[in-house]
Amino acid sequence: MSWRDYWNADSPIYVSDRHKTLHYALIARDVAALVPGPGATVLDHGCGEALSAGRVAAACGRLYLCDGAPLVRDRLSRRFADEPTIVVLAPEEVDGLPDGSVDLVVVNSLLQYLSFEELDALLGLWRLKLSARGTLVLADVLPPDLSPLDDVRALLAFAWQGGFLRAALAGLVRTAFSDYRKLRTELGLTHHSEAEMLDALRARGFAAERRPNLGHNPKRMAFAARKA
Ligand SMILES: C[S@@+](CC[C@H](N)C(=O)[O-])C[C@H]1O[C@@H](n2cnc3c(N)ncnc32)[C@H](O)[C@@H]1O
């Protein structure tokens, strides 16, 4: 099984419906804050179920939601069927967007499932699709020294604030015996250092800088990049 196959099913990393709801609400809040203006075109690549994407759509002119998993795309298409400015795309369909037409590309919590080669190819694609003053934001990037324990701590802090601590503790036990844990051991997750990320972005013609992360885990990294 690959990571892309793995995501074509429900994942135990969301420990409860409340966790999932609060997670996507937080991401949507942070993404909406990045939108440069009401007419902007936004691409959320590797968007997951994007439960609160309506909030991002309300802040921009058009929102492309791209995900690799057919199951996720089916759910997105059904959820946002009545939102005319939200368009659901398979990764292959991003190629077909007009070059220079996207003002903001957001990629949250995807890079750990990509090889260095896949990331490099996507950086080229995102640069092609970005408008002249467009921004690429890569977030929730795993630094080399991030341990599973750091993720556990961040989840428990989020759960404490969000009132789902009991579900989080039970969920951590479930995750420890799940396919996610097995795949994490077999395939691993891709980690990047800050310098590696800045080099990879520079090599693809971006001027980039480190930013505070989106979402609940401040130990993971984020980067904002523009065409150099
Ligand atoms: C951890 S989830 C992140 C979802 C969302 N961005 C968030 O921050 O909650 C990773 C998502 O990336 C998708 N994904 C994995 N590999 C992908 C790829 N190569 N292209 C596009 N999406 C991919 C998965 O289907 C999954 O929905």
pTM above 0.85, yes or no: yes
Instruction: List pocket residues of ligand 1, CB cut-off 6 Å.
Output: 3-4, 7, 27, 46-48, 67-69, 72, 91, 108-110, 113
Going by alpha carbons, the residue nearest to atom 19 of ligand 1 is: 68
Per-residue pLDDT tens for 9-35?
Answer: 988 889 999 999 999 999 999 999 999
For residue 179, the model assigns a pLDDT of: 84
Going by alpha carbons, the residue nearest to atom 17 of ligand 1 is: 68
Cα 72 to ligand 1 centre (Å): 9
Chain centroid, CA 163 distance in Å:
24
Over range 162-189, report the average pLDDT: 91
Length of the chain: 228
Q: Which of 6, 7, 66, 107 to probe ligand 1 with, by most ligand atoms within 8 A of CB?
A: 7
Q: In which band, very low, low, confident or very high, does the pLDDT at 105 lie, cut at 50, 70 and 90?
A: very high
Complete domains list, the chain, with CATH: 3-227 (3.40.50.150)
| Residues 6+ away with beta carbon under 8 Å from 8 | 69, 70, 71, 72
Closest by alpha carbon to 99, among 126, 121, 135, 62? 126
Return the H-helix or E-strand segment holding 24: helix 17-34
For the chain, give percent helix, strand, coil, nearest 5. Answer: 45, 20, 35
Helices (H), 35-138: 53-59, 70-79, 91-94, 116-129
